[in-house]
Chain A
Amino acid sequence: MKRLMNLTPSKPLSIFLSLMPFVLILFVYWNASNVRLAENPNDKLLPSFSQISSAVDRLAFNEDKRTGKYIFWVDTQASLYRIGLGILISAASGLIIGLLTGLVPIARSNLSPVVTIISLIPPMAILPILFISFGLGELAKVMLIIIGTAPVIIRDMQSRVLQLPSEQLIKAQTLGASTWLVALRVVLPQILPSLISSMRLSLGAAWLFLIAAEAIAAQEGLGYRIFLVRRYMSMDVIFPYVIWITTLAFLMDFSLKRLSQLCFPWYHDIESGK
């Protein structure tokens, strides 16, 4: 008998093992839901699967009676737009500022301390200031995501630039490159894959801030809907929304990973070779 740490599961066993927790969770839920529904058939806390699917059907595939819209897709579109814009702006500012502070010592002494301090401020604590500066519209929601994620990306990018071997930067200079060309052709392409992985890590925080922003003031959005139906405890709506948010987050993470593998094969070869 081998040691436990040396036992690797066969492919079918590994699939079984990975699916089992999900099946278990579903089973526990199904059981608990049945118990509660037997007591009160209109209990809203743990709706049955058929109640959930009819809620999905109503929200996603039927026009809303009042507005004539497909609520689920309207919410999805609004949230994706906000989170997409927020994370893109965060990434762009992270790339530019991080590259600047990482490569140029003057910019580093100028910006690095303020970025560090800002990154330590919990954005939720300064909400009133955000409202007064950016209003309550789309801008404020996107800004909350940016303030929540950009400083972390900036710091990550700066440290990535600083981690580049100084030999490379000197080599580029001996080949006649200006600061601009070193940034453009030596530093930028090498930190782009890190930018993508930094974006992937920031996605969780971005969703958190998105939902917080939508809970504060909104007319549509996934977070808006969840906080609205919470008022009458419609768990049959909340559960599918939560699953949908998780799915979207997973898809975003997965596509960023694929994008990185496609665009930067050398980076992933080196990473996997380590």
Chain B
Amino acid sequence: MNKMKIALLVLTLLTCSNAFAKDKFSICWTIYVGWMPWDYGDSSGIVKKWADKYDIEIDVVQINDYIESINQYTAGQFDACTMTNMDALTIPSASFVDSTALIVGDFSNGNDGVVLKDKTSLADIKGQQINLVELSVSHYLLARALETVGMTERDVSVVNTSDADMVAAYTTNDVTSVVTWNPLLSEITAMPKANKVFDSSDIPGEIIDLLVVNTETLKENPKLGKALVGAWYEIMQVMQKDKAALTQMAVASGTDLAGYEAQLATTKMLYTPDSAVEFTESAQLPKTMQYIAEFSFKHGLLGEGAADSSFIGIQTPAGIIGDKKNIQLRFDPTYMKLAAEGKL
């Protein structure tokens, strides 16, 4: 009888330690309209369900500071992180941390914008001081906006302004124009005399929100990719029909359902894996990444070793941009395709 007990105990211990031996991963995200689904996925148990299915553990961590979350990912503290296509290129990839865009979640379709005080036309921006978060997608948006009216950054002067203080900054007399993103953008455009003269819907599909995974980790653990993608598209399905889920995301991002839906209206969510695959495979993506690589090089974001904008290779299904021998950023639709085909 005693022997039986001991054997049982040993068995339990063994299974326990087996449970501990599960591969453990952690991903981080920050509050933004297109990334709120991760919060829902974590709290509703969808992420855990998919992790269990592939016999791994996934820890979902919210980080308050966006740049800090990317830096943490780049330093190796996280296996995956939410970020835009531009930050993926200029932070992890420029640090030679080979990264893969596992999920192409959405692109900004009016979520980022240029606002002028009193003036109504983009051409009036000439000679103005513009407050924005330098070297961010806002800066990129400004550069693209200036191109459309035949100007360059030399025609304006840029003041680096912390995003946390952007709304307060706009209320001061010194500030005549800002470039920023939602929800700050809608706060500012709601103020008197504010005119949105250019926004990301004028350059659709260029500011893309991704879930980026360390390429090496993904190669060694395809399970991680499958679990994350599987979870994501289940959340997407819920999101489209379940108002309660949307409300939960709205509250977590500090607004209400109406406010969150307004933000979603200016965000082109790629709800289905088909649409995401189609977007990733389109010939537009390498063109966009070319623009971004050029902008990043011009601002020294590709590092000192970069001789030109092709220094870092970017792989997309439609072709490789830049140095083929130095690919550090990969748009890989493999896992999204599996989801589309229902093979997860």
Contact = CB atoms under 8 A, between A and B. Distances in A.
A binds B: yes
Interface of A: 40-45, 54-55, 58, 65-66, 127-128, 131-132, 135-137, 215-219, 224, 227-228, 230-233
B303 A132 contact: no
A55 B304 contact: yes
A128 B168 contact: yes
B173 A216 contact: no
B338 interface: no
A43 B328 CA distance: 13
Given A128-B165, A228-B135, A231-B67, A43 B157 contact: no
Nearest to B326: A42
A218 B97 CA distance: 30
B97 A217 contact: no
Given A44-B74, A232-B90, A132 B171 contact: yes
B135 A232 contact: yes
- Looking at chain B's contact residues, the main secondary structure is loop
A231 B296 CA distance: 12
A182 B94 CA distance: 66
Nearest to B162: A216
B39 to A, nearest CB: 24
Interface residues of B, number: 35
Contacts of A132: 168, 171-172
Closest 4 pairs between A and B when the two form their complex, measured CB to CB: A42-B96, A128-B168, A135-B174, A217-B161
Nearest to B96: A42
Interface string B72-93: 0011000000000000001100
Nearest to A234: B303
B158 interface: yes
A40 B304 CA distance: 16
A232 B97 contact: no
19 contacts: A40-B96, A42-B305, A44-B303, A66-B299, A128-B171, A136-B159, A136-B172, A136-B174, A136-B175, A216-B165, A217-B131, A217-B159, A217-B162, A217-B165, A217-B169, A218-B160, A227-B160, A231-B136, A232-B94
Given A40-B97, A41-B96, A136 B161 contact: yes
B218 interface: no
Interface centre among B159, B169, B303 (most CB of A within 10 A): B169
